[in-house]
Structure 1
Amino acid sequence: MDTGLVTADSTLGSQLVNSHWYRVGGLAPRLRDTLRIHPQYWRRQLWYVVEDRINARYHRFDRQAYRIIRLLDGRTTLQHLWLRLAAEAGEHLPSQEEILSLLGQLHSLDLLASDTLPDLGELAGRGRSQTWRKRAASYFNPLAIRIPLFDPDRFLERASKRLAPLLNWRGAVLWLACVLPALVLAASHWRELTNNFGERVMALDNLLMLAVLFPLVKILHELGHGLACKRGGGEVHDLGIMLLLFLPVPYLEASSSWTFPDKRARMLVGAAGMLVEVWLAALAFYLWLWLQPGMAKALAYDVTVLASVTTVLFNANPLLRYDGYYIASDALEIPNLAQRAGRWWAYLFERRLLGRRYADSPVQAPGEAFWFTLYSPLSFLYRTFVMFSIAVFVAGQYFAVGVLIAVWSIAASIALPFWRALGWLARNVAGGGIDSRPRRVILALAAGLGLFLFALPLPHHTQVDGVLWLPDSAVVRAGQTGFAERVSAVSDSELHPGETVLELADPGLTAELAAQTARTEAAQVRYDAARLEDPAAGERYAAELRREQTALAHLAERNARLTVKSASRGRLWLSQSEDMPGRHFRQGDVLGYVIPPAPPRVRIIVDQSDEALIREHTRSVRVKLPFAAASLWPATILRSVPAASNELPSAALGRSGGGEIATDPRDDSGRRALTSHFEYELGLPDDFPYRLIGSRVSVRFEHPLEPVGKRIWRGLRRLFLAHFHS
């Protein structure tokens, strides 16, 4: 549904008499015959909506402006009009300047008729200008490009009469009876509905179905607007195609609903299309539940998604200028909410920053300023979020199309408004529209901002988490699966390489070793006997003996690993050494550490997006411990693992251990990250006093000085590309 309301307001405060009045006082302007005027109340104030039936535009004027407009009958001259207003208004008499300003507005809006030959060149130029503005506004909106087709008014008139029994409370009851159970069932089937949503929707064959279904769903949506408008007594004279994300979607202009005096009737027109879509989504959902897997079930699913997702993300949200916006505008009784909210922020900029005391405020009623303050930033943020979400979602399957949408979105949402703002400032600064002092302030701010963003080098660093760790030789591990039989060394004792720490026992391995020893001895006896009797025949037993000896050596090696020995020099630390006897350990389990005199290492995990920056542009490295935050310790990069991995060196780096890295909830160890990272190992100075192995530390990589603008660009690029390289 397309609606547009242009506000023309008359304000007091200018000089009562204008020096050029004598030139126009004898003119008797009149309104065009094709205009209609409709009174409406907005926030308990009487306003008048002037309907331009030729151009399908609507203009709102306050009561004071209407006092002048009603006298423009082609017979009353401006001088007599002013004298009559003086007799009626008394001290509230509008100035001649205000009357001339209002007439200028009426002329620019093509609301005045003329008995003289019109300036055809001016009219043609004005028409071309309006056409260009409409096309430019359409082309710079990635969400909608409109192409009008035909007039549906007669068809809707006949349809509204036939459907009259349903366009009342009976239809509302039927709608609720259909939609409410569907909402309950959808909640219970939510996982089935959303499972592999992106892959299901963006599959090539499904996109072809969506391309066919989308226009069919939306034509029903638009017919809902049209029927509601006809029910309220309005007219619908424009139906066409809107290219929504490059898909042809029908649209219908029901802007005549702006003339309805009751705001609830206007809100119903705005909501009618969404009511039809939600009802259609409910019916399709019921079919999806009932049908067996196949083409029909897929079609029902697509209709459910189309009629529900587009309603929530686009039509129902007042932050986008679709149906929800016009409903909210009527509910709040604030017409032109988006335009006037933008003017409100411009007013604040002019008054607060530029020092213009007489800047015009768009606030016309109590309470409007609050909504103006909220609406513009929220609308900008949500619109940008929706555009980039669509770009990322599409690019997940079709990268080039997603990038194109993203570039278009940046141009429409950020670059174009910023360029317009710069143009406005440049015109005012160059043309003297801003006083000298504010002008200097603006130029200084602009220059300062440019220097700050693109010329001023500032400190730059990357911060990651790590853990204090030891070399592999310092880790005491169980060399073989078994039960702890005897602890040969106690915690905090000094060890040398080769000293026994713990002895394990494996009865099964011991029995197997004894049996293998017997088999080897028997093979040796057979070999010796055969070699004495017949040296040539002894070779047959030699192969058997070698096999048995190899098996015995393997078992002997496993048995030797039951004795856990220190591989390095240092101070022993065992975990609960007094409880170790009798406990079962698996091969590779960490039993303790031999803490060397040298400082521990730091193992860190680096995100893929930061890896190149750390590897190529690191000037220095500093380590900070959370329990000694006042001290920063220098560090050096000892090694880096060239391949990315999902395994974390310690569970302390994952979220389950208090870290920042998201881990796989299916991994009980808490050491498997959801995304791959690069691992680095850092060395600490010899005077590093802490030996709290496994403690989490913060590592800071200092990079060369760099302007903020370059970092912002790199961050935006990373934000977009990270989605496709994760």
Structure 2
Amino acid sequence: MKVQPISAGATQFSGASYCLNRQLIHRKIRFGRRSTWVVKRIADEAFFYFDEAEHWILQQLTSPMTLGQLMDRCRNNMRDHAPSPGALSEFVQMLTSNNLLLVGNERRTTDAGRSPGRRHDYSLHPLALRLPGIDASRFFDWAATCLRSIPRSLAVGVYLTLLAVAGGLAWTDFPALVTDIRDAAQRMPTQWVWFILALALAKVCHEIAHALACHLAGGRCRNVGVMFLFGVPCLYCDVSDAWLMPQRWHRVLVSAAGMMAEWFIAAIGVLIWWTSQPGILHDTASLLIMVCTVSTLIFNGNPLMRYDGYFILSDLWGKPNLAQRSATALRKFAYRIVYGSRDESLACDHHGDEDTSTALVAYGLASVLYRALVLSFIGFIAMRWVTGTPWFWPATLLIIATFVRVLFASIGKPHDADTARDRSSDGKRVRRPAMVAAAIVILALAVLIVPLPRTLTVDGVVLPDKHQEIRLSGSGRVIHAVRPGVVLEQDQTILQADDWVNRWELLRCEAATDSIRNRIDAIRLMRTQNPVLSQQLPALTEQLQASIAQSQTLRSQLKLMHLRAEAGQMVFETQKVTPSRDQKQRLWVGSPFASENRGCVVPAGQRLGLVGDANERIIRLALPQEQLDLVRIGQHVRIPLSGRSKPAEGTIRSIAQLPSTGSGGLPRSAIESFDVNLPAAQAQASNTYDVTVDLNASTFHRPLPVHLSVVGRIELPDAAIYQRVWRFLIENFSH
């Protein structure tokens, strides 16, 4: 036992006698390269870990003994490795506080089995709340007996073969699997009952696999019940008896059995997905594949929280009580920073950790940060849910209190006696914490108050400057079209289409005009002989003017079917169009500017492409309304480009509001004009603003490709962190 000497005042032994609690189970197991003794307290099924020296001391107390007698026995048997009186006193006090030792007459009442039960502090585990369960060990004993009748090699072979076949099928058609999962997630609100039932069955199989593995390895599952994991009710099986198994691979197998069961379910889901037709069964299998693979690895396989991955890592690393050891290492690291020396009171907490203290500190820090991240996300969702209700501020205070309690409980706290001794032992050790605390406060205030650079990231698309959409006012057949990518001359034809319907109507109107005009001329010649005919002239004159006006309108519409360019412009074709089978006879295939599409029909209003400056480019950004007050004309914008070391740069030219449909979304034409998949949150915003950015041509040698999807980073005025937090709260929780 490695201990550190303490002050002489702590070496005064009392005359009380100590005796080992008989309601304990002792088991020697191997962790890594060394042996560890596991002691289980039967009353509340708590586990404690001791090395050989500590367990030898514990065994000496099987009969009542005072501290002085125990110290003498340690000196006689352990000699140079004997602990100091102070360290032995602290060790015995730790055993007594955990009800492993009984003091004096206490054994008369407690030794008979009336050990105080374990209290579950739900405030420290808000993400996993357990309800009392039942003892199902008989059922699992029977199930384990049935499973032992199956040859182990056969079971392993079938399992691995199924995983290999399912993995091969998923790999060969992975894009289709991803698409089906996305589509099934979109349709889940209409068939959520089937998915919930399948998910519940998968999680029940997960827990039952833990219990069966524990019984197959010689342990027992003594408690089965319901717990609320992240607020969702699910089954749990207490397999803590796995820590009494002497072989490491048995313990790892028990910890990994749940994930292995879900992988088996995922493999069956792949086979169902591969063989089934689109429908409820197909969608449910697709979602189960994702839940039983990706989400299982992210949550259950994550070693930063006390789930399956944590216990697997603890066993493979050879560190029992990994969370407590990492918290101790993190506390020692903080103590060393504050006081400039090691915390002597923590030197004997865990032995053999000196060589891996850096790894333990890193794990402890990552665990605390991850837990804070998960709690923050859940708290944010809960606050959004109660926003606008009378429960907002009580819920907010409860969430903050829970967050602070869990965070500080993850790190732990030093012993009060040690802290008092440190404050009184050396004046310099009092001044250093004060200086460190002052430096931390000043640094925190500086970080909160000092304005820091910030940017606003907005999705956008590259477009030619002075661009216009190429659209035809009417439907017609393509007669002539220019090749995209060619610099055009003044009045050069971009696209010419023949609207035969309007052309036929024009011929009819012209014939009707000539007929009316001839009739008017005839009446004027005959009115001297028949004056009554003069009464028809006003009506015929009105008909003639209407026919002439209609002819002029038709000529204007036919003229619009002939699009001409200005000097220096270029045509940029839009995305390729693939019509359905019944459209191929009358619409184009691919680009309407392709030579093979001559004579094909162009629908009225169809967006055919863009015409704009051949060399100058702009960036069009889709700015959500809630960010409008941050953006100003003239602000600098950086656009990172893949394959280029330097980003493109530009300044904001204009900000204009895109018209709204009035139903809460953007019109289709406005979204199509970006020619980029905008985020759903922006595309569904009631008001989105079009921000035009002039690019600095000196930042690149040739023009950027049109229709290139980019991300613009608008450089905003500097703002302190407290200003950003306040704005975030106002935007998300204002009534």
Cα distance change on mapping 1:681 and 1:46 into 2, 3 Å: closer
Match status 1:678 vs 2:720: no
Residue 510 of structure 2 is aligned to residue 525 of structure 1:
no
The number of aligned residues is 651
Cα 1:482–1:391 shift into 2, 3 Å? farther
In structure 1, C-alpha distance between the alignment counterparts of 2:556 and 2:633, rounded to whole Å: 48
Q: 1:342/1:392 Cα in 2 relative to 1: closer, same or farther (>3 Å)?
A: same
Structure 1 residue matching 2:334: 3-state secondary structure: helix
Whether 1:450 and 2:466 are equivalent positions in the alignment is no
- Residue 226 in structure 1 maps to residue 211 in structure 2: yes
How many angstroms does 1:112 deviate by? Answer: 0.7
Q: How does 1:438-587 map to 2 (within 5 A)?
A: 438-453=433-448, 455-457=449-451, 462=456, 501-502=491-492, 520-533=513-526, 534-538=533-537, 541-542=540-541, 545-557=544-556, 573-574=568-569
Matched position secondary structure for 1:605? strand
Q: CA deviation at 1:694?
A: 10
Asked if 1:180 corresponds to 2:158, the answer is no
CA distance in 2, matches of 1:716, 1:190: 39
Amino acid at match of 1:375: Y
- Cα RMSD between the aligned structures? 5.8
Question: Given that residues 133 and 225 in structure 2 are in contact (C-alpha distance below 8 angstroms), is that contact kept between their aligned partners in structure 1?
Answer: yes
Moved more, 279-288 or 96-105: 279-288
Aligned to 1:169: 153
Render the CA deviation track for 1:599-651: whole Å, top value 9, x for unaligned. Answer: x9977524206533236xx5964578999x99999877575556567778999
1:198-597 equivalence runs, <5 A: 198-203=185-190, 206-207=192-193, 209=194, 216-283=201-268, 286=271, 311-358=296-343, 360=346, 364-365=352-353, 368-369=356-357, 371-379=359-367, 411=400, 415-418=404-407, 435-453=430-448, 455-457=449-451, 462=456, 501-502=491-492, 520-533=513-526, 534-538=533-537, 541-542=540-541, 545-557=544-556, 573-574=568-569
Distance in 2, matches of 1:623 and 1:260, equals: 62
- Contact residue 368 and residue 407 of structure 2 kept, 8 A: no
Aligned-pair CA distance for 1:50: 1.4
Secondary structure at 1:174 match in 2 = helix
**Structure 2 CA distance for aligned equivalents of residues 164 and 86 of structure 1:** 50
- In 2: Cα distance, 1:625 partner to 1:304 partner: 38
- 2:723 counterpart letter in structure 1: K
Paired residue for 1:190, among 166, 177, 181?
A: 177
Q: 5+ unaligned residues in a row in structure 1: which ranges? A: 1-9, 493-499, 577-581, 655-660, 665-671, 685-690, 722-726
Question: Does 1:149 pair with 2:133?
Answer: yes
* CA pair 376-201 structure 1, distance change in 2 beyond 3 A: farther
**1:14 alignment counterpart:** 5
For normalisation by structure 2, the TM-score amounts to 0.69
SS of the residue aligned with 2:149? helix
Contact 1:236 1:256 in 2 (8 A): yes
1:89 to 65, 78, 82: 78
CA distance in 2, matches of 1:289, 1:372: 45
Secondary structure of the corresponding residue to residue 518 of structure 2: helix
Deviation string 1:548-594 (CA, Å, 9 cap, x unpaired) is: 41243135445777999999xxxx53559xxxxx9x99999877669
1:564, 1:222 → 2: CA distance? 70
Deviation at 1:47, TM superposition (A): 1.9
Letter in structure 1 aligned against 2:624: Q
Instruction: Give distance in 1, aligned partners of 2:560 and 2:499.
Output: 11
TM-score (structure 1 length as normaliser) = 0.70
Between the two proteins, what is the percent identity of the paired residues?
Answer: 22
d(CA) in 1 for partners of 2:9, 2:420 = 29
Give 1:357 shift.
3.0
C-alpha distance in structure 1 between counterparts of 2:494 and 2:42, whole Å: 97
Write the distance in 1 (CA, Å) between the matches of 2:61 and 2:407: 41
Q: Which runs of 5+ in 2 are unaligned?
A: 424-428, 527-532, 572-594, 661-665, 696-701
Q: 2-side partners of 1:59 and 1:69: how far apart? A: 12
Counterpart amino acid of residue 257 in structure 2: A
Shift of 1:681: 5.6
Q: 2:225 is matched by which residue type in structure 1?
A: G
The CA deviation at 1:262 is 0.5
Counterpart position of 1:724: none
Looking at structure 2, the residues matched to 269 and 170 of structure 1 have their Cα atoms a distance apart, in angstroms, of 20
Distance across 1 between alignment mates of 2:94 and 2:307: 28
| Structure 2 residue 623 is matched with structure 1 residue 607 | yes
Determine if contact 2:18/2:102 at 8 Å carries over to the other structure: yes
Contact 1:662–1:674 (CA under 8 A) maintained in structure 2: no
Q: SS where residue 352 of structure 1 aligns?
A: helix
After superposition, give the CA deviation of every residue in 1:40-93 in whole Å (9 maximum; x if it has no partner): 222212221112122211110112212322211325543343233223333222
For the pair 1:134 / 2:133, whether they are aligned, the reply is: no
Indicate the SS of the match to 1:69: helix
Q: CA deviation at 1:148?
A: 1.6
Whether the aligned pair in 1 keeps the contact of 2:28 and 2:36 (CA below 8 Å) is: yes
Q: Deviations over 1:178-214 (max 9, x none)?
A: 44333434554625751433344444x624x555555
